[in-house]
Structure 1
Amino acid sequence: MTDRRRSPLPGEDPASTAAVPRGLRIAAAFAWRFLLVIAALYVVVWLVGRLSVVVVPVSIALLLSALMAPAVSHLVTIRVPRGLATALVLVAGLAILGGLLTFVIIQFTDGLPQLQTQLNSSLSQVRDWLVNDLHLRQEQIQQFIDNAISYLQHNQAAITTNALTTASTVGEILTGFLLTLFVTIFFLAGGDRIWSFLMLGAPRPVRNRLDVAGRRGFASLVAYVRATAAVAVVDAVGIGIGLWIVRVPLVVPLATLVFLGAFVPILGAVVAGAVAVLVALVTNGFVTALIVLGIVILVMQLESHILQPLLLGRAVKLHPLAVVLAIATGLVVAGIAGALLAVPLLAVLNSGIRSLLHETDPHPEEVDVLHDQEAAAPNDDPEEVVEGQR
């Protein structure tokens, strides 16, 4: 007959724990370990929040490095010194960014008078609709306007305080931009040496595995940034052409907003499209707004069913639910910066953790192969970069 007496857990005292059911002890063991993990994560999030002025620029610099690293590597392969290659790529990137911002500002300034005229016309139409269709009196509308003006006057102090806060925010943004530029230069010029130095702190038995996992994570980041940039360009061009066809003002600024919004998957495109529809509604009326809404939905469907699976699907291998939850968590924890960085962080962790869990210790030459190919083939599956050499 089988002995059904339970065996004690490792390290437990049978005399003192005999009255506690085994399942409860196992649940308690999981519970306190789970609480420790949550406490550690809370401390990490708290530290990131306290150091956000440094963490956010460094994170953005890492994204920019992932975007520019293939160009620098290509120049290095044709015997351009790495320092000169870094300078050329950075100057070209800043020139493109500065030219784009200047063009957008000029277009917005030129289109502002037309937008103001159309806005006044739309407000007049709304006022006529309120008077003729809803049978509101002119005095009621004027009273509402007067109340709004009175509210602004009585809250002038709060508005002034917010303006000062905004000025201080502009200073923080400028400081963050300079820090981002400085860190990006060092990441592009000596990122491999920085990573090798960090690997010296890892235990020697697992150093190669950690090295390969980190490089695969960066390869996933390169693939994600390049694929996202391609999707953003398609979204901006598609919606921009549609806005130009239906003669909505401020086409270039709105298309630029769509391009920037595409770097926040799903939510960014929705918000940018909603702004385009709102501008069309205010300036050109209800019918034009419906047409713009149809254009936005069509471009979003093209992105969701063709571009995302074709480009991002192979690049990062993340389920759409994981993407949405990551963005929502990042938005709650760190606002817009968290929403922007959540999916790249998830892609890097996904690739690195999969490498650690499913790979044996790589040979040293495989580490060198991954180092040589991580920038040369950024759109390939990061795990296949090493697997193809075995």
Structure 2
Amino acid sequence: MTSEPKKRPLAPLEVTNAVPRGLRVSAALAWRFVVVIAALYVLIWLGGYFSTVLIPLAIALLLAALMAPGVEKLVEWRVPRALSAAIVLIAGLAAIGGLLTFVISEFTTGLPQLQTQVGQSLDTIENWLQQGPLHLRDEQIKDFISNIIDTIKNNQAAITSGALTTAASIGELLAGFVLTLFILIFFLYDGGNIWKFVVRGVPEHVRERADVAGRRSFSSLVSYIRATVAVAVVDAVGIGIGLAIVGVPLVVPLSALVFLGAFIPIIGAVIAGTVAILVALVANGFVAALVVLAIVIGVMQLESHILQPWLLGRAVRLHPLAVVLAITAGLVAAGIPGALLAVPLLAVLNAGIKSLLSDRDRDTEADDIDVLADKGSRPGATE
């Protein structure tokens, strides 16, 4: 009686080889992709959870990038760092406060004129509805207006709740402003030591490289802020002059809106220009709106084909598609603050990653950085 030979169990390598190679590669890619997506989800969730802190921190960093060169210039003139930071901070706040005061004053002054022109435009629309191709009766128009009023009354609770939510948001906005101001003071006064403390958390064998990457990222952020301010000024002045020539009311507030909108590249200027066109349509009529549309398109073409490539392109070297995708992702993830901070974040990451992957000598890279040349303020430098 012969016994059948026992089958030898397959070795792990043989089991692996028994699985088709395409399936093995797909499985390896799949679980790594799942891990990356999970990590990104956790980071986004944490960012949303701590948004009350992160958004003021990010805005303070942007303002620091705008004001730090001024502080460094005063320090070069042998002004004490604390006094330099105070002078630049007070001057910046005074400029912003003065601009907002001027805009609000101009808006308040031009509002009665706009109300009159809106009333005239509404009368024109009503006449067109009655005598135009629709031939609506006066009773139909009144019934439509009455339905709108009834809808507002029926949703009064929701409107009140929304007003309370807005009041709470204003409170959060004020708290965020105070926190941003507090962080900005320390960034301007002690940014070098803060960066030095952060770099200590990096392993020693890559600490110098991380230090250079961080400084190059901040340099890119400074260049981005300067270029964005220049683009915003050109957009605001160009559209503002066009609105003044056409005779559109509220020229200064609309120009200020264009200036602020330019800080969200591509999308912000389009939205601000659309608001200007709508105001021209309501206040000055269809022909004036077309003229304003032509002016906005002309300024946008100037920005897209000359200013953006020349200033922003040289400053951050980002592809327009990457800019649009970053703004969209930021808008979906965090609303208006996300859209505002998406491109600066992308610029910082782009510069930092390029520096980390660069094979050039690190000392040479460090010598090329002239944004924070002062030893006391350069991130990672010692006092």
- Mark yes or no: TM-score above 0.5: yes
The 10-residue stretch of structure 1 (12-21 or 211-220) with the greater mean CA deviation from structure 2: 12-21
Percent identity of paired positions between Structure 1 and Structure 2: 66
Unaligned runs of 5+ in 1: 1-11, 378-390
Match of 1:58 in 2: 57
Q: Which residue of 2 aligns with 1:178?
A: 178
In structure 1, what is the Cα distance between the partners aligned to 2:94 and 2:214? Answer: 31
Structure 2 matches for 1:209-220, cutoff 5 A? 209-220=209-220
Aligned AA for 2:304?
Answer: S
- Secondary structure of the equivalent of 2:362? coil
Consecutive unaligned residues in structure 2, runs of 5 or more: 1-10, 375-383
Cα shift readout 1:38-85 (whole Å, capped 9, x = no counterpart): 111110000000011111000000000000111111111111111100
| Alignment-derived partner of residue 5 in structure 1 | none
Q: CA RMSD for the aligned pairs?
A: 1.4
TM-score relative to the length of structure 1 = 0.91
- Matched with 1:385 is none
Distance 2:105 2:350 in 1: 42
What letter corresponds to residue 62 of structure 2 in structure 1? L
- What does 1:215-234 align with in structure 2 at a 5 Å threshold? 215-234=215-234
TM-score, length-scaled by structure 2: 0.93
CA distance in 1, matches of 2:361, 2:351: 16
Q: Distance in 2 between matches of 1:105 and 1:227?
A: 26
Residue correspondence of structure 1 range 234-245 to structure 2 within 5 A: 234-245=234-245
SS in 2 for 1:190: helix
Distance in 2 (alpha carbons) for counterparts of 1:231 and 1:178: 28
Residue aligning to 2:353: 353
Contact 1:258 1:269 in 2 (8 A): yes
Amino acid at match of 1:219: S
The answer to whether the 8 Å contact 1:227/1:315 transfers is yes
* Displacement after TM superposition at 1:19 (Å): 1.4
Question: Shift of residue 21 of structure 1?
Answer: 1.4
Deviation >3 Å, runs of 4+: none
Question: Conserved in 2, the CA contact under 8 Å of 1:216 and 1:352?
Answer: yes
Name the structure 2 match of 1:269.
Answer: 269
Question: Equivalents in 2 of 1:24, 1:357: separation in Å?
Answer: 32
- Who is 2:380 aligned against? none
Quote how far apart the aligned CAs of 1:18 are: 2.6
- Structure 2 match to 1:289: 289
Equivalent pair of 1:70/1:376 in contact (CA under 8 Å):
no
Q: 2:122 matched to which residue of 1? A: 123
CA displacement at 1:196 relative to structure 2: 0.8
Cα deviations by residue, 1:115-144 (Å, 9 ceiling, x for unpaired): 100000000000000000020111000000
Offset at residue 276 of structure 1 (A): 0.1
My pick for the range that moved more, 304-313 or 25-34, is: 25-34
| Alpha-carbon displacement from aligned partner over 1:255-301 (angstroms, at most 9, x marks no partner) | 00000000000000000000000000000000000000000001111
Q: CA deviation at 1:348?
A: 0.5
Provide the rounded CA distance (Å) in 1 between the counterparts of 2:23 and 2:361: 38
Counterparts of 2:100 and 2:270, CA distance in 1: 22
Distance in 1, Cα, partners of 2:158 & 2:119:
28
Q: For 2:253 and 2:109, how far apart are their aligned partners in 1?
A: 11
SS of 1:279 mapped into structure 2: helix
Which residue in 2 is equivalent to 1:85?
84
Q: Deviations over 1:294-334 (max 9, x none)?
A: 00001111111111111001100000000000001111111
**Deviation, structure 1 residue 16:** 2.3
What secondary structure does 1:18 align onto?
Answer: helix
Contact 1:318 1:347 in 2 (8 A): yes
